[in-house]
Structure 1
Amino acid sequence: MEGYVMRDTSQAVGLVDARNQNWADFRVFVQQFGAQICKLVNAATGASGAANIEPAGKYYLYTLYKLTVGSQAFDIQYFRPGSSLSDLAFNRLSGMMKVGQDDQLFQRHIGFIDEHMILIAQANGGPALSEKIATDSVDAWSRALGRWHGAISQKAPRRTASGTMYNYLRHLYRGEKHDVDEHRDFLQSLPVLEEVLVNTNSRLSHYTCLSDGQVCLTKPTAFRMMPLAWGLLESGLALSKRFPDHIEQIVDGLVQGWAEGGGQSNWEHATFREIVKVFCTIEPDTRHIHESHLAQGYLDAFNSTRGREEPRVELAFQSPHFDVKLKQPTKTAIKALRSRLIDIQCAPQIVEAEGQRPDAPIEPKVRSAAQSNPSNALGALCGACSGYCCQFGLQNHAYLKASDLAAFSETRPDLDHEGIADAYIDKIKSRHARNGCLFQGSKGCSLPRDMRSQTCNAYLCGSARQVLANEARLQKSKARVLFVAGSKGAPTLWSDTKTKPLSGA
């Protein structure tokens, strides 16, 4: 390979993100990874000659780049570092691309740089489905989409589930209430026994048309564990919005294609067809419905399985989730933290930048009664979350300020600045959360509360505030509470003082 040419159009497409320059800055990306990416492409495809990399768009979880080498084109997805959501999306997408290679369900997977969450795929160059499909071809391309969903459903990972299609459609989907309730009896009669990892981004522009009449997913951005065939249903909605006068053709094409692709369902053919038609005719709500409805959906599903004499769950809360994967802390990170802790004790200008004079009296850390003596429910919530807020402590040095270290030094007058810093370093465990705070371990924060920052001690996420808002009710009635952590929907049932996994989840 003769080298690569860097075309800096980042300002034009708005790729520079002041909050994370190293991730979003185009020049930094090319300097760090350009040569390595070109070597991977050359080894996998034999492509040679001058290469050109251009920014192609920025999404919430990743930045997209276009690479051309001679006449060959490649898509590069660089996922946002330090985010459990992007880590999850990267792992799901890389896994799905591998299992779908043989059937051309995705673009050809060239390789990835795992430690930096970079995916490289060869662009197929076909026209987007949104441009190709027309009224005279809606039935053919509906079948093609059905075949794609049927084929991928046989390869995707699965897990057991509970509830009904009504639970999912009402609480997880952006549908108008009256439209969903119109089909309530039918949807409640359809049990959901398992979930499958499906593509829930139904945009027709994310598929390209191949020369043999098949479709290929070229922008796989949203894989979630949902009921079997959910991705097919989402595609039905997208098609029906585009061609509202061809719903019967769309439904027949999707169902026929699903079977041709090897897709199966727990329902009879007529029932399955009716489910697809329901999705095609529901009017979506234009407002964004937050995933807090996931918790309510699990609450309804759980209560629907209870016998007449069995207790019901009364409250449900949605929490974030950090998928903790432990790794050994690097010497570089530890050294940087130690230097920072010494600097903020020694340099007056840093202290003043924090809004406090070096000689100002130390203000005691004040915590509310609820924070000082959190309820069992709040503890269960944080346990289900696993420290989503803590992960950002890696780049922010555990949010420790001069005032925090000064307060701790009052309890250890025998230590100088370096001694105070070393006291903190000694609290770092042999393994900490990957992409998380150095003090974040398998059992939470390794710092005692009197050594933590005021920021960490005082912070309450939205989910925690909701729990505290219901504190009186929780303490008085000992209500059973369901926590659903993250978009993966891993529920935990809390009752009185115990936390246990929810049966059947």
Structure 2
Amino acid sequence: MTVAPTRSTLEPSVFIQKFGMAMAEQIDPDRDQYDLHAKVLGKTHCTLSMALTVNSQTVFLKHFSKTTAESETAYTTERNALKLLGRAGLAPKLTAFSDDDQILIRQYVEGEPLRDVVTAETVVCHSRAVGAWLKKCAQRAPSKPGSGNWFEYLTDYPDLRKSQAISASQQFLETFEINNFVLSQNTALLRDFVMSAQGPMSVKFARTRIKPAGWDLLLAARALVQLFPEQTDAITRALSDGYSSGTKATSDRYLTLIRLFVLGMVFETGRKVAPPPSHLALEAFNRRRKVKCDAVATSPFLAAKFRPQKKHVIEAFERHVLNLARQVKRSANLDKLEPKPAPASNSQPPLELGALCRACQGNCCQMGVGKNAFIDRDAVYHVMKANPDKDVQQVAQTYLDFVPKSYVKDSCFFHAKKGCNLPREMRSDTCNRYTCGSAQRLLKTIGARPPESILCIAGTGSNFRKATRTRDGKIQNVPLGRLKIGQAAFRKSSDRTGGDR
């Protein structure tokens, strides 16, 4: 990919206009025409991050400016790390890159930043998962032999040079030798980990360095303990157990190392980190309300911009439904067909889930683009069985009757102002059963301890875009002004947003 170099990050629309076609050709080289959509995930003075969808393929794109030597170094570091760690299955696959323009295109990871999802209830489970992930990284990442011990290494850091905890444990740390150095993520930011369906995964590599095996474990411990200091013992135990794969002797040794590091870096220095923005918003909301919410849930946010239906898309959908209806009809007796049961269409989701989805505005519905709203033979079968007197043309028309005049841009063509325009009993089983990561965490929360009222916030980090709450069996919209947490809190939390979503 070769385009005239740019010196600084561009506005997203200008960037797409300038680089869009070249990137589309890299992502889907077998096509002559491209349907390209971009979603901005983050922008700073030196980087621009986007989710880029070309036809049906979604990738993660990151552009580094050339305004400073630091940003050029960050680009080179992240590119090299993606190459090396990607081969070991420890990083998203690097699809394409341009050294001239400092653009990286890699596999998109579906999930949310660990910083935005970890709670007091889940931190121990998350810590164990992070420990196991970091052990996998230490075993598979490029490495080289080394020498030394943890006392020498830790006291080389100014913050630990005068640490009483480190000094008091000099003998233990000197006997804990460092024999292996590995390519490490080298970040203390929980937003640099994404909780995917497979568990935690590293997604940012601009700070990658060669460090002692176990260094990332110490940084993760510091970040988690800063958030939940009252659970220090449980967090450090879970991290060491996950990292040591249940080997007690090794686990106990790393547990001691982790706790000494945390004592020196958190409690002796007095460093604190603001709670997640959503927790601060819940506190701010409850201070102003007589009827308080006793839990908070977060989700992505889809900005609803409407556009007229595309005639050729709806005509293609009509042909699709007609074909499915004919397949069902050819089976002389509907009762002989045995499609997948669809109990999800016969029951309403929990009220709390409805509140979360209303705040989100249907981020998951974007997955229906180009997939005929996931309508399959089973969905058409249920409609035909409920309407035995209708012929195939009438069945197709039944679906067409629910196609809105306008739909949410870059989303499913049934995605209307108030959500999906299709009745639940006509939707695909895929849509009725799907729960995103945010929904899964919510269901786990209400399953463990059902709240009387829950606050649902959509957005990224402290960039709240919409909020709802449940009260007296109803869903209410919440004005964002009631979630105001103050500029100081915003500043403390501002560097914890981002990540693939």
Shorter-chain TM band: 0.3 to 0.5
> What is the TM-score normalised by the length of structure 1?
0.45
Specify which structure has the bigger relative contact order, considering alpha-carbon pairs within 8 angstroms and separated by 6 or more residues. Answer: 2
> What is the TM-score normalised by the length of structure 2?
0.45
